[in-house]
Amino acid sequence: MSSVVEQVIPGAARWVPGKRVVAWPESPESPRMLATSRVSMASLIELLGGEPDVASASMQMSFPVHRLPRGTALTHEGGRAAFIYVVQAGSLKYYRSSEDGYENVIGFVWKRDVIGLEALAGGCYAFSSVALEDSRAVMLPLAELAELRRAVPALDAALHARVAHQLAHAGELAEVMAALSADTRLARFVLQLSGHMAERGLSHRRILLRMTRRDIANHLGLAHETISRSFGVLARQGCLRVTQRDIEIVDPDALKRFARSTRSFGDEAVVAPSHWAEAA
């Protein structure tokens, strides 16, 4: 029976080697981490999308910022939690390693998103996260959080709104996974990405993917080859323009039609692609 356990799950990465996977060993309080820069209370509240009141604006308190080179882990599933984090810049992959060693990508987080809140309950992170690009995260000491919230109502409100917002997005995973066809899943994922970018004031048409095909595959419950193929389908149908990780939504309506559909279109003649193979 042990052989069964050892058998490799297909289509998933055993470990993302990256280049600089430092694998910080649960000790975020190491001196080097107390970082190069800090952020004021007012800026933090603004980052969270709240309105800094007079009290918080005048407050001299500031928070350290954790700088994350690409590939750096921020939290470790099961690791003791000393901080919660607010992403200030960049993007991270949010995942869980399942028992067989493969990673189960819950989602991706960007600026404004809060990481590690689940540690409020057990004191441990429930998810792992690694930076997909050079990123920054504001560190909020878990031990002082309760008092901070009491002392600074504006922070309290902003945090709550943010958590509620993230809870509302919890259905996104179900949304993509509910789709039966791979093309539909990918179309929905791209639309979600587009929405997230728009929420953050970036272009919702032109998106630079920070994650690999394999990450996307693990997120959507598909094989990475299938992601490649589905990108090809969406591109040939005229919905997207795809060149490596640089994608552009050419025809949003057609993309939405794909996302709505439950089965692939087949001969629906969505678009007449003139040249059958224009990818060359």
Partner DNA sequence: CGAACCCTTGAGTCTGATCAAGCATTGTGG
Partner DNA sequence: CCACAATGCTTGATCAGACTCAAGGGTTCG
Which residue in 191, 161, 194 sits closest to 175, CA to CA?
191
Residue 100's binding partner out of DNA, a copy of itself, none, with CB under 5 to 8 Å set by partner kind: a copy of itself
In angstroms, what is the minimal distance from the CB of 245 to a copy of itself? 23
Residue 150 or 245: which CB sits closer to a copy of itself?
A: 150
Q: Which of 100, 225, 246, 278 touches a copy of itself by CB under 8 A?
A: 100
Contact 182, 219 (CB under 8 A): no
Helix pair angle (213-220, 182-199), 10° resolution: 110
Q: Note whether 188 binds DNA by CB under 7 A.
A: no
Sheet holding 83-89, edge to edge: 37-40, 62-68, 135-141, 83-89, 114-115
Q: Note whether 117 binds a copy of itself by CB under 8 A.
A: yes
Q: Note whether 231 binds DNA by CB under 7 A.
A: yes
Q: Which of 54, 121, 272, 280 touches a copy of itself by CB under 8 A?
A: 121
Which residue in 157, 139, 141 sits closest to 56, CA to CA?
157
- SS3 label, residue 198: helix
Q: Note whether 175 binds a copy of itself by CB under 8 A.
A: yes
Measured between alpha carbons, how far is 204 from 195 in angstroms, rounded to an integer? Answer: 7
Q: Note whether 76 binds DNA by CB under 7 A.
A: no
- Which residues are registered as beta bridge partners of 87? 137
Q: Which residues bind a copy of itself (CB under 8 A)?
A: 1, 4-5, 7, 9-10, 96, 98-100, 102, 104-106, 117-122, 126-127, 146, 157, 160-165, 167-168, 170-171, 173-175, 177-178, 180, 218, 221, 257, 260-263, 265, 268, 270
